[in-house]
Amino acid sequence: MIRAKNPFVFKTRLNLLEITGEKAKNLKDLMGLTESVPLSVVYFHTQHLLPFQQHLSPKSPNDFAYWIKKELHEEVLSEKIIALDLQRPLNAHDFKEKMIQLMKSHLASAEYREFNVSPSKEFNFIKAKAFIVPTGHKVYNLFEFYGALKEVSIDSIYLHLFGAETFSEKHENDFFYWLKNELKEKVLADSISRLDPFVFYATEGLRAQLIKLVNKRLRAIKKSEGAS
């Protein structure tokens, strides 16, 4: 079994939430403020709830889409925003740009009718300031990696699978990069890179699928070593 030169260090993310004071009472406000707020605000309102999705169904993990549907009654626009990311999570910059374009197109359409919500129903923009901290789990081979997956929090797993791309142009998640480059496990890395957080409404299902993929590869290694 290959031992990595550089270990995989499992980390997790802690979020400090800040109220920005910015509020939207209609779609024009929402679009304009979304253009001006930092990416950390877009992240909070679109991806921060995904690790806890099993507690939220049928609520959308996208706060923008949920508010647009529930308070503005714009169901078609809401569905288009949710549909932006069916294949994989977009980084925050791309998501922000695509969502703004959808809102602009809707505002310019004949179907749009301005509607102002009451002050108690306004959309409040919240910013998430992220702190990345180590979990204490450091692994050098696939067997140790397998064991750590059973012990670390779902927040740590989500961070390494999807969170690394949130504020960057990077398209390789942490697990993919380490498995491919340190352990030369390209096939396993490719399989893991195709996992979609939107499929696993129960987040422990995401952990289970990861463990299943790694365990399958470990059994194959054991079989090949036994045959040699």
Q: Considering only CA atoms, which of 131, 112, 116, 103 is closest in space to residue 40?
A: 131
- Of 13 and 209, which is predicted with more confidence? 209
Domain ranges of the chain: 14-127, 135-221
User: What is residue 199's predicted lDDT score, i.e. its pLDDT?
Assistant: 61
Write the pLDDT tens digit of every residue in 101-149. 999 999 999 989 999 999 999 999 998 887 899 999 999 999 999 999 9
Is the predicted pLDDT of residue 91 greater than 80, yes or no? no
Q: What is the pLDDT of residues 20-32, one digit of tens each?
A: 999 999 999 999 9
pLDDT score recorded for residue 56: 39
Which of the four pLDDT bands, split at 50, 70 and 90, describes residue 90? Answer: low
Whole-angstrom distance, CA of residue 151 vs CA of residue 210: 13
pLDDT tens-digit map of 150-182: 999 988 998 898 765 444 444 568 999 999 999
Tell whether the model's pLDDT for residue 55 goes beyond 50.
no
User: What is the rounded CA–CA span in Å between residue 135 and residue 117?
Assistant: 43
What is each CA distance from 194 to 3, 21, 125, 161, 197, in whole angstroms?
A: 25, 38, 31, 10, 10
